[in-house]
Chains A and B, each alone.
Chain A
């Protein structure tokens, strides 16, 4: 059965179609791996093996008829921020208690429509707030990678840390993530996998628990960009139930994979040379530039002058929205309730017990920046700066076709190296936040290992709705880097 773990999503799809393997054996192999490894990794909050086996059996019946969709029989994990009909959905928070949605998110509906088999709900930072997956009410997720000669538990990044760890460890062939300021790209980089944050509006937000509505965007996480492309094509699309979803056709992303970069212009934003960034990340970035140049791209230095305002602006805009979005968790209609002598007492007790420390911190900050007397200085100014950041990208994209940067300023750190200053933790998102603020698409591909043997990623940022160019350029890097390393904890090796 160990051969089952050498599949990528694309090769598994082809093997299923060719009836070389069955969906049931593929699913069982992954369920077994979860059984063996996830007690340690903690990447799942809720496992749904029974439903998965039923779905796999149904997939085999369809495949036997020579029918089936793009994902028929493919085992996936779902970030536990997507509401799933009849399956507990937690947002990694205590406040939702045993909440079982009577509805399915649009993104997961699309995946089910195309035949995917869900193995369960994946861990994350509570309400997607975090960069290390240390903020989950269901415990931290462990990164399957290890530093050379060390058994220290590394973080998988966040907030889609469970998705990243599960994909990297081979527990699933792909996973959904959500990205508000880097929550797909940074964990993808920390775990040596690929992840795409599509253009804002590309995937419907309907049924996905909101963190910051103007930034939240679902996207795929998988072992490589071909797998991500297949998933994205299924997840994306217009949805009339989300007013911010955009009605443009979904292209064949997989077909874009081999387009190459010949004749394209790649921009290198000079502001991303962050002071204090490790030399090996600088070196990897240069390596990426060389790979693209060798593949026929023209390299152009560009300026994104408002980059340094990205992080503070993000933490105002996102948290303002979050403070309002999380008001509905009040103990009145669903989720956990802690009784109180008055309505206000009920609210206070419920929210004090239900929300974790980081979520509370962010609600407080968000409430503060919207308060009378502070609104203009914080929220309104942040909106103005956000426009300037977006303009930076639009200006750059008049000169170049896409941008190349590092994904994160460091590799995965150990759980006990977590910075005590929360703002220090926020710095993880320094390279990912600007594209989120602008709404443009971006992805991360694994490009190498650092000196300690831990993965590093490169980020590509593109024009609105031009995910295809990013996939093509990312694939050039993938091929040049020939990243075939596997983490220490992996389904293919005995634990």
Chain B
């Protein structure tokens, strides 16, 4: 089911590659000791190194290197034991040294791959070309004064990982799935928080189009700094459409850098290839080549948490959940951890159904996330154990969960307080049933003449009489016995 855009001359295929800038989670910046945390008053997280003062020298932050290696491992990628930092030279007011320290010729991470799951159940492999470390720039603020711009260097020098994909993406859906998968991996290994609104993850989108079956690629355009998955998907669509119209009108697409305007849903030219900077890359002489040991890479690998795919496979295996259920349960590490806490030592099927059903519904209803869930994993597990040991039945349990969400009380406390313990006294059940059967003699006769469906009616009536607290299995069993008398 390939994605195609139909133009006047027939069908077109799109070719997309993504360059994702992911801000590294670290205490300090890539080459200085200043705080890398988000926010803060302007220019309060700035060292003299970040501000490019005379005589200041960069010193590489080892933790940022470790984060890049961990990410590379998470992307099944080649870890380069030799890499090097280069200077990318250009003038801008929020780039204090006049160059960005990046890795041009020798990135720390080489080729890798990301498996993405699509809505139709299929899986696609998207190649990763490379991952390299680089500094972020500061921020220019142009809207505070009519004639002056202000500069905030809090972000100047913060470590970024630029993750470059191969041009393997063939639809907006795949682009979205790739970004979600990438973000999932980064969050799992805790190397980037993936927060696109705060700009800690943003994408440059390279788009070209071609006729299905055509060899090679046509000229591409790069859409800069798109800051949400939805906008990435939209920008691909409108940019592809624009290019198709140009080709079909007999024109040529110019290689250029463009911006996506989500309000008008269009891309606009930022600069043409002729205006492109000559960055004059060369090895930064203030830094030695970065040489790391395989044994250190191995240590980092051994300490990596379980990654999404492995976790998904394991949940399928260990808890007998379906592939779909496992995918939902492993979308975020916190959800998976929560699930495993609930399911361990409980009935796994019950745990799965309750997590995906009532529990997620409760989260949605209250607008809470798994991290600040009103019900703890242990609390949910206790609730389920009350079902398993027949203290309450499933219907009552739904009520109890609602109470738990509202009051924060434990399941057993609610059950005790409200007297919800289910009736397992066969004598009491039998007497209730006998009352129901006696009051509905006509229905009993109909049932006995073959109207089997009425069994449910008797169950309902019995439960109603017992205020929902009858043990469903015992009710069934006793009903069968008494009806066959």
Which A residues have a C-beta under 8 Å from some C-beta of B? 82-83, 89, 91, 96, 99, 101-103, 105, 205-210, 212-214, 240-244, 320-321, 323-324, 327-328, 330, 332-334, 343-344, 347, 367, 370-372, 375, 379
Contact = CB atoms under 8 A, between A and B. Distances in A.
Contacts of A105: 55
Interface string B416-432: 00000000000000000
B53 A334 contact: yes
Contact of B99 (A324, A333, A334): A324
A102 B52 CA distance: 13
B57 A379 contact: no
Contacts of B91: 327, 330, 343-344, 347
Interface string B127-162: 000000000000000000000010100000000000
Contact of B282 (A96, A206, A244, A379): A379
Q: Is the interface of A mostly helix, strand, loop or mixed?
A: loop
Interface of B: 48, 51-60, 87, 89, 91-93, 96-99, 149, 151, 278, 280-282, 285-288
Nearest to B31: A243
Given A105-B55, A206-B55, 8 more contacts: A82-B55, A83-B54, A89-B54, A209-B55, A244-B286, A321-B282, A330-B91, A370-B89
A328 B93 contact: no
Contact of A242 (B54, B57, B281): B57
B97 A212 contact: no
A205 B57 contact: yes
B287 A243 contact: yes
B480 to A, nearest CB: 81
Among A89, A344, A370: residue with most chain B CB under 10 A? A370
18 contacts: A103-B55, A205-B57, A213-B285, A213-B286, A241-B57, A244-B285, A244-B287, A320-B282, A321-B282, A323-B89, A324-B99, A327-B89, A328-B53, A343-B92, A343-B149, A347-B91, A370-B280, A375-B280
A89 B87 CA distance: 26
B55 A208 contact: yes
Nearest to B276: A372
A441 B58 CA distance: 25
A102 B98 CA distance: 21
Q: Is the interface of B mostly helix, strand, loop or mixed?
A: loop
Contacts of B52: 328, 333
Among A89, A328, A370: residue with most chain B CB under 10 A? A328
Nearest to A103: B48
A208 to B, nearest CB: 5
A324 B282 contact: yes
Contact of A209 (B48, B54, B93): B54
Contact of B87 (A91, A240, A324, A347): A324
A206 B59 CA distance: 11
Nearest to B51: A333
Given A213-B285, A243-B286, A372-B278, A327 B55 contact: no
B57 A332 contact: no
Nearest to B284: A213
A332 B93 contact: yes
Contacts of B48: 102-103
Contacts of A89: 54
Contact of B55 (A210, A333, A347, A372): A210
Nearest to A204: B57
Contact of A243 (B59, B92, B282): B59
A99 B48 CA distance: 14
B280 A367 contact: yes
Q: Which 9 A-B pairs have the closest CB atoms?
A: A327-B98, A214-B285, A370-B280, A213-B285, A328-B52, A207-B55, A209-B54, A372-B278, A83-B55
B54 A328 contact: yes
A201 B285 CA distance: 12
